[in-house]
Chain A
């Protein structure tokens, strides 16, 4: 005797059941999924991150890559011809290229995909980090290449090894890039480029000061080399930019809603 046989109260529980809905209910569920943010992709996070980077790379202006490469190529040419200039050239060029690149990557008024990005489920912070990773990573690669190539110069020895050269530009590049990013997020690309240029100018003056004996005030506090101070400052600025990126409407864009 089955359990149901011992429960006469439930006799007929399986009778009169309506047939289940047809397969259209699956389509409706999939449509809801698409409209409400889609499903979590089953691919590993690292693959998702890579896919996001690839997609972001596609929507970045070609000029970012081209101009950065050309400027750095000019610097490399100079360093190959005059290897003893490798340190100052890299210390000045790398922050400039990275700062300008970051400003252009996040915040131009004519960002054609901004509206599209705004309605995707991917958060603005993730987009920001992806773009910064792309542009800063690209500039890092250029800087690394430029730090290695001078040692191949036939015109003489380089005053420092590749690692020492990297230490010359990495910290300032990170600080100026992060400052540019913050200004770009808070304000607009033009302001970020201007701010980065001003910061770079002060930085360049600090070199002048150390060379001429003046402006020692600048050089005493300005983060001229890679160290805990410069990296910490860059991280703080970047975190601030990431935090601001997820807050409301950017200052740089016309407001989508009327103020009450």
Chain B
């Protein structure tokens, strides 16, 4: 399908989008923190795919390549944005949290995610929302698997601090 996109088949771009729209948009939504920005990045991604489909050489899966393109576009959009407002630590019901207390809702997760540095946020979202392994994440981000693990480690520490 990507070969058809590379040949200039607009219909193939639509089919490619329908096949990968859910995971891509979810990734971008969690990365950007709001729907409008996520849609803008998604459109940037489609534009980049349309223009650079010829560069796909089949070394990675189409899905991995698409996430890589989306991630670059997200960086382009989000890099210049100011950091989120000062984090107000979430209050907890008691000092000894049980699993229920830690099981925060989707909105609270989103609020916590946007407070992560972008490099950590993308690793967390790819790992836990897109359910990708360390090797796939390292391909998408162009970093060693060890760096993926260390970013996850730091992300968890940051999340705990935010959600404390």
Q: Is B117 an interface residue (CB 8 A)?
A: no
Q: Are A25 and B46 in contact (CB under 8 A)?
A: yes
Contacts of B13 in A (CB 8 A): 26, 29-30
Contacts of A13 in B (CB 8 A): 30, 106, 109, 113, 125, 128-129
Q: Are B102 and A26 in contact (CB under 8 A)?
A: no
Bound: A42/B113 CA distance, A? 39
Bound: A3/B42 CA distance, A? 27
Segment at the interface with B among A32-40, A57-65, A109-117, A236-244: A32-40
Q: Are A32 and B156 in contact (CB under 8 A)?
A: no
Contacts of A14 in B (CB 8 A): 26, 106, 129
Give the interface SS of chain A, mostly helix, strand, loop or mixed.
loop
Q: Are B106 and A10 in contact (CB under 8 A)?
A: no
User: Could you write out 14 A-B pairs with CB less than 8 Å apart?
Assistant: A3-B127, A8-B103, A9-B156, A9-B160, A12-B103, A13-B125, A17-B26, A25-B39, A25-B42, A25-B43, A26-B13, A26-B46, A32-B43, A33-B51
Q: Are B18 and A11 in contact (CB under 8 A)?
A: no
* Residues in B11-56 with C-beta less than 8 Å from chain A: 13-14, 17-18, 21-22, 24-26, 29-30, 35, 39, 42-43, 46-47, 50-54
Contacts of A19 in B (CB 8 A): 25
Bound: A17/B27 CA distance, A? 10
Those 9 A-B pairs whose CB atoms lie nearest each other, nearest first = A16-B106, A20-B25, A29-B46, A8-B102, A20-B21, A15-B106, A11-B103, A12-B106, A39-B51
Most chain A Cβ neighbours within 10 Å, of B6, B106, B125: B106
Bound: A40/B48 CA distance, A? 11
Q: Is B163 an interface residue (CB 8 A)?
A: yes
Q: Is A213 an interface residue (CB 8 A)?
A: no
Contacts of B29 in A (CB 8 A): 17-18
Give the interface SS of chain B, mostly helix, strand, loop or mixed.
helix
Q: Are B112 and A9 in contact (CB under 8 A)?
A: yes
Q: Is A41 an interface residue (CB 8 A)?
A: yes
Interface string of A78-99 (1 = CB under 8 A from B): 0000000000000000000000
Q: Is A4 an interface residue (CB 8 A)?
A: yes
Give the interface size bracket for B toward A. 35 or more
Q: Is B10 an interface residue (CB 8 A)?
A: yes
* Residues in B65-80 with C-beta less than 8 Å from chain A: none
Interface string of A99-113 (1 = CB under 8 A from B): 000000000000000
Assess A9 versus B159: contact at CB under 8 Å? Given A21-B42, A30-B13.
yes
Q: Are A39 and B25 in contact (CB under 8 A)?
A: no
Q: Is A7 an interface residue (CB 8 A)?
A: yes
Q: Is B105 an interface residue (CB 8 A)?
A: yes
Contacts of B99 in A (CB 8 A): 8
Q: Are B17 and A25 in contact (CB under 8 A)?
A: yes
Assess A26 versus B14: contact at CB under 8 Å? Given A3-B128, A11-B103.
yes
Contacts of B54 in A (CB 8 A): 40, 42
Interface string of B90-128 (1 = CB under 8 A from A): 000000000100111111111011000000000011011
Q: Is A23 an interface residue (CB 8 A)?
A: yes
Bound: A4/B24 CA distance, A? 19
Contacts of A8 in B (CB 8 A): 99, 102-103
Q: Are B104 and A12 in contact (CB under 8 A)?
A: yes
Contacts of B52 in A (CB 8 A): 40
Q: Are B51 and A20 in contact (CB under 8 A)?
A: no
Bound: A19/B53 CA distance, A? 25
